[in-house]
Chains A and B, each alone.
Chain A
Amino acid sequence: MNSLSKDQIHFIDNYLENSDVLYADIRMEMVDHVGSAIEKQMKLQKTEDFYSVFKDYMVASKANLLENNKKFLRDVDKGIFKRLFRLLSKPRAIIAFILLVFISYKVMTINGHNSIVDIFYWFPNASIVPFLILYFVMLKVFKLSRFSGVERLVFVYMVFFQLLNLLRILFRGYFNSETANYVIISVVVSTMILIPIVLLQLTYHIMNQYRLKYKSI
């Protein structure tokens, strides 16, 4: 007995996928771990019975493997949020925010606040489009697998999408009033523009990182 065959590896991979280990990066590592453990056990027991060794291993270790999966997903989510806040607190993002506030304020003083309020209505919905394009390009053109960092971005997008919509609902009445303060409108609109742009930048970073890390696949 040397190493497991392609079919046996495929069997482990399928088993883990059916056990809700959905993302390729974490499953790949688990498949190797389980495969190595089974190879060692088969060697020790001097047996060729892969399925019996696999069954015994899973009885003993499945809970641990799935715990690893849960922790992994929690860490991925935390990691994405951390990176997003790091990007938002960078001088470049702060300067961009100040510029956006300044530009939108100037536009309103020239054309009135209705010209800016339009952005306020369509931007959150429109911001999802570039993400979908990038996701499609990475998956189809670069043949990127279902990696956790990429797929969990959808969750982050949904959180911010809801937040931006909440802002929109909260400020809708105020924005339509004649007494609306231009500085407040500028700050809210700039926030709604900046967050999706930074999210998109993060999406590109994460996807590119996977593309480079797994280029040998």
Chain B
Amino acid sequence: MRNSKLYKGSLNTIILKLLKEHDKMYGYEITQKVKTITKGELNITEGALYPALHKLEAEGLLDVEVVKVDNRLRKYYKLTETGSKETVNKLNELAEYIKTMQALVNPKLA
């Protein structure tokens, strides 16, 4: 990843968006999905992903389900009703941000 600071502020939105598209996901699955979609450009580390997931869970945006899979326990995350609403808000905010940045750095494309 070239500049992790630029992506840091959008981590919650990325997680919420992925969970909106998938019924439920676990931590490692999220990191791999992001890696695949961004063709390896964005590599979310454990130290960034799990605190973000736990914060979203504490805020009531995510619900968890613990299931036994392949000899171990797996914690699945899914959106709550509030989480689904918040995802729409966050995506709109991000779209606005991208539009503003586009107008600033490349006015021709804006």
Q: Could you list which residues of chain A lie within 8 angstroms of chain B, going by C-beta atoms?
A: 3-6, 9, 26, 28-33, 35-37, 40, 61, 64-65, 67-68, 71-72, 75, 79, 213-214, 216-217
Contact = CB atoms under 8 A, between A and B. Distances in A.
Contact of B75 (A9, A32, A64, A71): A32
Nearest to B53: A29
Majority SS at the chain A contact face: helix
A88 B55 CA distance: 22
A201 B26 CA distance: 31
A29 B50 contact: yes
B46 A213 contact: no
B67 A216 contact: yes
A68 B51 contact: yes
B28 A75 contact: no
Given A32-B27, A32-B28, A33-B28, A68 B47 contact: yes
A33 B72 contact: no
B66 A33 contact: no
Interface of B: 26-29, 32, 45-47, 49-51, 54-55, 58, 64, 66-75
Given A33-B28, A68-B51, A216-B68, A28 B46 contact: no
Contacts of B71: 3-6, 9
17 contacts: A3-B70, A4-B72, A28-B73, A28-B75, A30-B46, A32-B26, A32-B28, A32-B74, A33-B27, A37-B28, A64-B46, A68-B51, A71-B47, A71-B51, A72-B51, A216-B66, A216-B68
Residue from A9, A29, A67, A79 whose CB has the most chain B CB atoms within 10 Å: A29
Q: Which 9 A-B pairs have the closest CB atoms?
A: A67-B47, A3-B70, A36-B28, A71-B51, A64-B47, A68-B47, A68-B46, A64-B45, A28-B73
Contacts of A28: 66, 72-73, 75
A33 to B, nearest CB: 5
